[in-house]
Structure 1
Amino acid sequence: MRQILCVLVIAMMLAACKKDRNDDPLPEIASIAGKWRMTEVEKTENGKTSWYPVVYYDSPVYITFRFDGVILDNNGLPYCCGPDSLKINGVPFEIVPKADLPANPSCAFVDCATCPTWEITQSGDEMIVGACTTFPKYKYVRE
């Protein structure tokens, strides 16, 4: 009898558990949510703009767009000097964290000169990210 009571109590406790948040991507950013690897950088030389492969010195550069639009770095920490909003294929999206963010100790050593909005052009598994007009654009592929 005691075992049956314990099983019932445990079953009730498990049934009462609920997920605290929904990690499904918001509809506005569903197309870009997930992990992306940088592959190319746009450079202008002698008035001609071309794409060049990214040279990795240690490991590939990744960014991850979390379910709420927050941008994470290679280590899953908040991206240093990230934007306040995104423009995805011309549609604006304000980044508002919907879950706690750990501190990124690397950001203490970064002098930010950020752009408030990143322009993103995404098609299928390829994405081009441009910050300000003075910064180069980067091409990413979905991992």
Structure 2
Amino acid sequence: MRSTLLVLFLVGLFSCKEKQLSPEELQPLVGKWRVTSIQPAGKTEWEFVTQSGQHQFEIRYDGVILGPDGLPICCGPKYLKVNGKVFTIVPKEGLPDNPLCALVNCVGCETLEMDLQGDGLTTNTCNGSGRSRYERI
């Protein structure tokens, strides 16, 4: 009886594990992205962004997210969830300090949810403030 319960517990535990994204599967996401439109929370319409020069970021080969200045973003996520699969961000090389981060009180999200379709990327904010669409640059 105990062994049956243990087997059922282990099967349940391992069947609930999230699908992991491999470094190879992350490669289509690597590169620079520029915002094209936003969808504020509670709205169904997308608003186009015309001055998107400041709203750019880069995803490195190891998942690290860099701002337009090449410095790591403040309060960056620990995980990327891309098309339902999770990738754990582990920097493979050193990162310079971003002096702006000393001025920021981080209450960021551990997981950044993304939907990647070709050269289009949609992100969801974890605090419910809306979604953003990006294009590869």
Give TM-score scaled by structure 2 length.
0.78
Is it true that 1:105 corresponds to 2:102 in the alignment? no
Deviations 1:98-138 (A, max 9, x none): 01000000111112221110110010110001131523111
CA contact (8 A) 1:117 1:131 kept: no
Indicate the residue corresponding to 2:131 in structure 1.
137
Residue in structure 2 matching 1:32, options 29, 33, 56: 29
Aligned identity (percent) is: 43
Indicate the residue corresponding to 2:71 in structure 1.
77
In the TM superposition, structure 1's runs of 4+ consecutive aligned residues that sit over 3 Å from their partners are none
Is it true that 1:54 corresponds to 2:49 in the alignment? yes
Write the distance in 2 (CA, Å) between the matches of 1:48 and 1:137: 10
Deviation at 1:95, TM superposition (A): 0.3
> How many correspondences in the alignment?
116
SS of the equivalent of 2:77 reads: coil
Write the distance in 2 (CA, Å) between the matches of 1:133 and 1:111: 15
Deviation at 1:39, TM superposition (A): 1.1
Mind listing any 5+ residue stretches in structure 2 that lack a counterpart?
Answer: 1-22
Write the distance in 2 (CA, Å) between the matches of 1:41 and 1:94: 26
SS of the equivalent of 1:137 reads: strand
Deviation at 1:61, TM superposition (A): 1.4
**RMSD of Structure 2 on Structure 1 (CA):** 1.8
User: Which moved further from structure 2: 104-113 or 69-78?
Assistant: 104-113
Deviation at 1:48, TM superposition (A): 4.0
Amino acid at match of 2:124: G
Amino acid at match of 2:82: I
Give TM-score scaled by structure 1 length.
0.75
SS of the equivalent of 1:121 reads: strand
Mind listing any 5+ residue stretches in structure 1 that lack a counterpart?
Answer: 1-25
SS of the equivalent of 2:123 reads: strand
